[in-house]
C-alpha cells in the first residue's frame, strides 16, 4: 500500500471555485477548481525516478504495484488526496493572455514527509479541467518523456527545477498535429507525475491583479510567503519587498545556471515562471549543441526568436517586471519593487561572473575576465563549436599544454565544420594564449580540473539523444529512456563505456524534428 501523508494547504487556505463541473469557464475570485483526473484505459508505469521515490519515502517496489499505476495514471486516489486545477494567467510572447490555468495539469495533493519536506504531486496529461479551453487535457508520450527526463537531468546538473516522479503510459491514443501543418495523427498518450514544493507561477499573481482583485492577490501573497518562504522575516510592505527581492534573486540564479549548461527553455511566458525560481513546464525546450546565442528550439518562436538562448537573462527580467506590476497594488512605494528588480540585475551579474570563474577554472574574478569569456563565446559562435565538448576539452587540458590544444583530438571533436576549424585556428590559438597567461599563478592542476569539471558537464540531455529514446519508446522499448536517465544521474563524471552519450549532434539530427526544432504541440 502506498503510504503518503497529505497536508493540502493550497485548497485549505485559498478560496476555491464553487462550481465543480468540468465545463470550460472563466473563474473569478478563486485560486483553484476541484477536478478529478479522467480515468484511462490501461495505465502502465514506464519509468520512475529512484531519487524522487526516495525523497517521498516510497519504496522502489511500490512503483511495480497495480495501485501505483492506477494512482499515477489518474484512475484512483489515495486517502488524503484532494485533486484540483490551479487558476492563473500570463503574458505569452509579450502580450497579456488573460486566464490560462492548469489546462492539463491536475494537482493531487501536498505530501509532507517525515523530514518535514512538502512536495506537491501533479499529474500532467490527466484529462480536461475548467482551464482546458479548446484542448483535450492530455499529453503525448514524446512530450511526457521529454519532461520526465529533463526534470531529472536538470536536478542532477544542480539547476533549480521541478522534479518528476514517474512516467505512465495511458494505453490510449491522443491526436496531435505535430507540425501544425494540417496533418493530425494519433500518438500514444502518457502522464508524468511532476513534483515541486509549489507550482505557483508569476501568472498566479498576475491574474487577480489584472482583474483588480487585490483581496485575492494579497491572500495569495500571504499564503505563498507563509508556506513557501517561511524563512523571510518582517511584516507588511517590508515583508512583501523581501519576498519579491528573493524571487528576483532566485530567478537570476536559475537563469545563470541555464546559461552555464546550455539550456534553452523555449517558452518563457510568465505562466511558465515559477515563483520559487524553479525551471518549470518543459515543452519545446532544447540544449545548445554548437554555441549559438541566437538559437531557439521553439518553431512557434522561429521568426522573432524572443526566447532564444542569449536572450533568456533579459526575458526573465522582463517577466519579473510583469510580476512587479501585478504586485504594485500591495505597495505604497514602487521603490521597493524597483530595488527587487535591481537585485535581479546584481544577482545575475554576480552569477555570470561566477560562471566565468568556474567554467574557465580561475582562482577568482578579475577585471577583464568577462571580456575573456566573451571573446571565447564569439569564437565558439562564429566557428560553430559544440559548447559542452569545448568546455570539457578545455577542462581536461593542462595549462601548460594549451598551446597545442588545437591539435588535440578532444578539441578537434568539438568542431562541427572542419573548414571553419581550420579558418578559425589562429584566432583560437590567440585566445588560448591569452587564457594561459591569465591562468599563471592561479589554481594548481588538480584544483583547476576539479573546479572546471564541476561547472562544465560531460553529459547533457542533447536533443537528438532524447529523440532517440522517444523513437525507441514509441516502438515499445522503454530502455532507451532508462539508459538516458541513468547517464544523466552523474552528468559531471566521465562514464567509461558511455562515450556515445557525450557525442556531438550527428549530421542526420541537424534539421530533424525533435532534434533541432520543436513545436509546442504536446
Ligand atoms: P504551455 O504552453 O504548455 O505552458 O500551456 C499554456 C496553456 O495551455 C496552459 O494553460 C496549459 O494548461 C494549456 N494547455 C496546453 N496544452 C493543453 C492540452 N493538451 N489540454 C488542455 N490545456 C492545455
Ligand atoms: Mg505552461
Distance 81 CA to ligand 1 centre (A): 23
Q: What is the pLDDT of residue 218?
A: 98
Atom of ligand 1 nearest to the CA of 102: 12
One domain for residues 164 and 226:
no
List beta partners, residue 385: 415
Q: To test ligand 1's pocket by mutation, which of 135, 175, 272 has the most ligand atoms within 8 angstroms of CB? A: 135
One domain for residues 195 and 247:
no
To the nearest 10°, the Cα dihedral for 193, 195, 198, 203? -50
- Ligand 1 close to Cβ of residue 132 (< 6 A): yes
Distance 400 CA to ligand 2 centre (A): 48
Query: How far is CA 428 from each of CA 122, 379, 407, rounded to the nearest angstrom?
Result: 48, 7, 11
Distance 395 CA to ligand 1 centre (A): 41
Q: What is the pLDDT of residue 178?
A: 87
- Ligand 1 close to Cβ of residue 163 (< 6 A): no
Domain with 236, as residue range(s), is 203-357
Q: What is the pLDDT of residue 513?
A: 86
- Ligand 1 close to Cβ of residue 92 (< 6 A): no
- Pair 353, 365: CB distance under 8 Å: yes
Under 8 Å CB-to-CB from 297, ≥6 apart: which residues?
A: 264, 266, 284, 285, 286, 463, 516, 517, 518
Q: What is the pLDDT of residue 484?
A: 98
Whose grid coordinates read 546538473?
A: 157
Q: Tell me which residue has its CA closest to atom 6 in ligand 1.
A: 100
Does 136 participate in catalysis according to the annotation? no
Instruction: Assess if residue 493 is contained within a domain.
Output: no
- Classify the C-alpha dihedral 48-50-51-57 as positive or negative: positive
Atom of ligand 1 nearest to the CA of 105: 12
Instruction: Assess if residue 127 is contained within a domain.
Output: yes
Instruction: Assess if residue 506 is contained within a domain.
Output: no
Instruction: Assess if residue 66 is contained within a domain.
Output: yes
- Ligand 1 close to Cβ of residue 97 (< 6 A): no
One domain for residues 245 and 369:
no
Instruction: Assess if residue 3 is contained within a domain.
Output: no
Q: What is the pLDDT of residues 115-151, one digit of tens each?
A: 999 999 999 999 999 999 999 999 999 999 999 999 9
- Ligand 1 close to Cβ of residue 101 (< 6 A): yes
Distance 272 CA to ligand 1 centre (A): 11
One domain for residues 233 and 121:
no
One domain for residues 24 and 39:
yes
Distance 338 CA to ligand 2 centre (A): 27
Instruction: Assess if residue 450 is contained within a domain.
Output: no
Q: Tell me which residue has its CA closest to atom 14 in ligand 1.
A: 103
Q: To test ligand 1's pocket by mutation, which of 104, 105, 138, 144 has the most ligand atoms within 8 angstroms of CB? A: 104
- How far is residue 135's CA from residue 327's CA, in Å, rounded to a whole number? 31
- Pair 213, 311: CB distance under 8 Å: no
User: From the candidates 70, 271, 292, 301, which is the catalytic residue?
Assistant: 271
What ligand has the least distance to the C-alpha of 189? 1
Atom of ligand 1 nearest to the CA of 125: 19
Atom of ligand 1 nearest to the CA of 100: 10
Instruction: Assess if residue 342 is contained within a domain.
Output: yes
One domain for residues 59 and 41:
yes
Q: Tell me which residue has its CA closest to atom 19 in ligand 1.
A: 137
One domain for residues 252 and 220:
yes
Distance 271 CA to ligand 2 centre (A): 6
Distance 520 CA to ligand 1 centre (A): 9
Instruction: Assess if residue 517 is contained within a domain.
Output: no
- How far is residue 196's CA from residue 161's CA, in Å, rounded to a whole number? 8
- How far is residue 198's CA from residue 223's CA, in Å, rounded to a whole number? 11
One domain for residues 325 and 244:
yes
One domain for residues 163 and 80:
yes
pTM above threshold 0.95: yes
One domain for residues 343 and 282:
yes
Which residue ranges in the chain fall short of pLDDT 50? none
- Ligand 1 close to Cβ of residue 8 (< 6 A): no
Q: What is the pLDDT of residue 409?
A: 98
One domain for residues 216 and 195:
no
Q: What is the pLDDT of residue 416?
A: 97
One domain for residues 319 and 284:
yes
- Pair 142, 474: CB distance under 8 Å: yes
Q: What is the pLDDT of residues 5-56, one digit of tens each?
A: 999 999 999 999 999 998 999 999 999 999 999 999 999 999 999 999 999 9
For the chain, how many structural domains are there in total? 3
Amino acid at each position: 500500500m502506498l503510504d503518503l501523508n497529505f497536508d493540502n494547504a493550497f485548497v485549505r487556505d485559498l478560496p476555491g471555485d464553487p462550481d465543480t463541473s468540468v465545463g470550460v469557464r472563466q473563474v473569478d475570485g478563486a485560486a483553484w477548481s476541484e477536478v478529478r483526473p479522467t480515468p484511462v484505459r490501461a495505465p502502465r508505469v514506464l519509468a520512475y525516478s529512484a531519487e524522487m521515490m526516495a525523497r517521498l519515502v516510497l519504496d522502489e517496489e511500490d512503483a511495480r504495484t497495480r495501485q501505483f499505476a492506477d494512482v499515477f495514471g489518474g484512475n484512483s486516489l489515495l486517502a488524503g488526496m484532494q485533486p484540483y486545477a490551479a487558476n492563473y494567467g500570463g503574458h505569452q510572447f509579450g502580450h497579456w493572455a488573460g486566464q490560462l490555468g492548469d489546462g492539463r495539469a491536475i494537482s493531487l495533493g501536498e505530501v509532507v514527509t517525515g523530514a518535514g519536506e512538502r512536495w506537491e504531486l501533479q499529474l500532467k496529461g490527466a484529462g480536461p479541467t475548467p482551464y482546458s479551453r479548446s484542448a483535450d487535457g492530455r499529453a503525448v508520450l514524446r512530450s511526457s518523456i521529454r519532461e520526465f527526463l529533463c526534470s531529472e537531468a536538470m536536478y542532477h546538473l544542480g539547476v533549480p527545477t521541478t522534479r518528476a516522479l514517474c512516467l505512465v503510459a495511458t494505453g490510449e491514443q491522443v491526436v496531435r498535429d505535430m507540425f501544425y501543418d494540417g496533418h493530425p495523427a494519433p500518438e500514444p498518450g502518457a502522464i508524468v507525475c511532476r513534483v515541486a514544493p509549489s507550482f505557483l507561477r508569476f501568472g498566479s499573481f498576475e491574474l487577480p491583479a489584472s482583474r483588480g482583485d487585490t483581496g485575492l492577490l494579497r491572500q495569495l501573497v500571504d499564503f505563498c510567503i507563509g508556506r513557501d518562504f517561511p524563512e523571510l522575516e518582517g511584516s507588511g510592505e517590508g515583508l512583501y519587498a523581501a519576498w519579491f527581492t528573493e524571487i528576483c534573486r532566485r530567478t537570476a540564479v536559475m537563469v545563470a545556471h541555464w546559461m552555464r549548461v546550455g539550456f534553452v527553455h523555449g517558452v518563457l511566458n510568465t505562466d511558465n515562471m515559477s515563483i520559487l525560481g524553479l525551471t518549470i513546464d518543459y515543452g519545446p525546450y532544447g540544449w545548445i549543441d554548437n554555441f549559438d546565442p541566437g538559437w531557439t528550439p521553439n518553431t512557434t518562436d522561429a521568426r522573432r526568436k524572443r526566447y532564444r538562448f542569449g536572450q533568456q537573462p533579459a526575458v526573465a527580467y522582463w517577466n519579473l517586471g510583469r510580476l512587479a506590476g501585478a504586485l504594485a497594488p500591495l505597495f505604497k512605494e514602487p521603490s521597493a519593487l524597483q530595488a527587487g528588480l535591481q537585485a535581479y540585475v546584481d544577482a545575475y551579474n554576480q552569477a555570470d561572473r561566477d560562471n566565468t570563474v568556474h567554467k574557465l577554472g580561475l582562482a577568482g574574478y578579475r577585471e577583464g575576465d568577462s571580456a575573456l569569456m566573451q571573446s571565447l563565446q564569439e569564437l565558439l559562435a562564429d566557428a560553430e563549436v559544440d559548447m559542452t565538448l569545448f568546455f570539457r576539452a578545455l577542462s581536461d587540458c593542462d595549462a601548460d599544454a594549451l598551446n597545442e590544444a588545437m591539435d588535440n583530438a578532444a578539441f578537434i571533436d568539438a568542431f562541427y565544420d572542419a573548414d571553419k576549424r581550420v579558418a578559425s585556428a589562429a584566432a583560437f590559438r590567440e585566445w588560448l594564449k591569452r587564457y594561459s597567461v591569465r591562468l599563471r599563478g592561479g589554481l594548481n592542476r588538480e584544483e583547476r580540473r576539479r573546479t572546471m569539471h564541476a561547472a562544465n558537464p560531460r553529459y547533457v540531455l542533447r536533443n537528438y539523444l532524447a529523440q532517440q529514446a522517444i523513437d525507441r519508446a514509441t516502438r515499445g522499448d522503454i530502455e532507451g529512456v532508462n539508459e538516458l536517465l541513468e547517464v544523466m544521474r552523474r552528468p559531471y563524471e566521465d562514464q567509461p563505456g558511455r562515450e556515445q552519450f557525450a557525442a556531438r549532434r550527428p549530421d542526420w539530427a541537424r534539421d530533424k524534428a525533435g532534434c533541432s526544432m520543436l513545436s509546442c504541440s504536446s
